[in-house]
Amino acid sequence: MLRLVLASLAVVLASSIALGVALFAVPETSEAASKRYSQVIDNSTKGRFRATTNWGVSSYSNQRYGKNYRFAKPAKRGLAMYKTRIPRGGYYTVCGRWPANNGYNRATPIRIRTAEGVKVRRVNQQRNGGRWVRLGTYRMRAGDAYNIRVSRNGKGNKYVIADAFKIIRAPDAKGVRCRAASTTTSKSSTAPRGERVLEEGKKYLGKPYRLGGQAMCDQGRYIDCSCLTQRAYKAIGLSLPDDPVRQFQYGRRVDSPRKGDLLFYDEDGPGGLQVTHVGIYAGKNSNGTDLILHASSYWGEVVIKPMRWPRDGYLGARRLT
């Protein structure tokens, strides 16, 4: 009889322990999953994006997220809307992403629906292209709704852009960085910034050379030396003027360049002081020869060729990354 009682007590105790472990484990797993939660919504995300009339579709900029983005002329009415899933009420950091261009709006309104009402952030879409930009951290209610909206009511007459957004659950109102808990990782997004500059510049290999200003650079039919470096650096969110002399004022001088650094020349030869040409350091070839990626008037296109510095009027390298 005593053995039967002891056996029954053991079964009850084991069941209680198992039940207690299960009850304890469920909320812990749920909370951990909630803390890790993030979501990316692109303008091409099926069932999670819609826009009013008069929004165009473009894949012009290499800084886009995904295969394309939306654009529209400023107007008093008109929205591009992104549907976000908020698994539980709490704080969420909202990040935006767009291609940057001088033809885009300097004050694009982004409306974010929060637990305290709609908050509006105006962003300058001439800057910070091709990267996630932190718009703020907000307390949001649980649900699945169009919580983020890009308004056409921008200032001036330059295009308003709608590309992609990301939300990341935050532990408190201080929020998190936009790089945290990313649901999208790629070689280009995780590579060192200098290498990302170089890889972006390589996309233009073979592009015809023609000397021109910012307007020609924006058109994209031809490219000159400073247009190439401007476009390459936009990939990491740095805005450079389309002018080698002014670009020489950016960053810091370095004696030993690394991939992505800017290389400056006076094409009049050694001893010159005037900046007339700029390129991107492209590393070394299999023979250990230093290489430069540049839009060359001599070759008539964007090329990668051996450097011959300190000859050829080499003025030095500058690091912006």
Q: Fold for 189-319, please state it.
A: endopeptidase fold (from Nostoc punctiforme) (3.90.1720)
**What does the pLDDT average to over 247-263?**
93
pLDDT tens for 173-212 read 999 998 744 333 334 444 588 999 999 999 999 989 999 8
CA dist list (Å): 307 to 239, 283, 284, 292, 313: 26, 10, 10, 6, 11
Tell me the per-residue pLDDT of 99-151, one tens digit each, with 9 for 90 and over. Answer: 998 899 999 999 999 999 999 999 999 999 888 999 999 999 999 999 999 99
**pLDDT the model gives residue 36:** 72
pTM, two decimal places: 0.51
Q: What are phi and psi of 9, to 5 degrees?
A: -60, -40
Predicted pLDDT of residue 182: 38
Measured CA to CA in angstroms, residue 229 lies from 15, 203, 247 at distances of 68, 12, 9
CATH number of 38-184, picked from 2.40.360.20, 3.30.390.50, 2.60.120.260, 3.50.50.60:
2.60.120.260
Q: How far is CA 210 from CA 60, 216, 228, 297, in A?
A: 20, 9, 11, 7
Q: What is the pLDDT of residue 283?
A: 93
Better-predicted residue by pLDDT, 61 or 81: 81
Domain ranges of the chain: 38-184, 189-319
Q: What's the confidence (pLDDT) of residue 185?
A: 36
Could you tell me where the DSSP H helices lie in 1-123? 2-35
Q: According to the 3-state scheme, what is the secondary structure of 215-268?
A: HHHHHCCCECHHHHHHHHHHCCCCCCCCCHHHHCCCCEEECCCCCCCEEEECCC
Average confidence (pLDDT) over 7-16: 46
Average pLDDT, the chain: 84
Return d(Cα 217, Cα 239) in angstroms, integer: 13
Strand partners, 150: 80, 110
The span from the CA of 214 to the CA of 247, in Å, is 14
In whole angstroms, what is the distance from residue 241 CA to residue 297 CA?
19
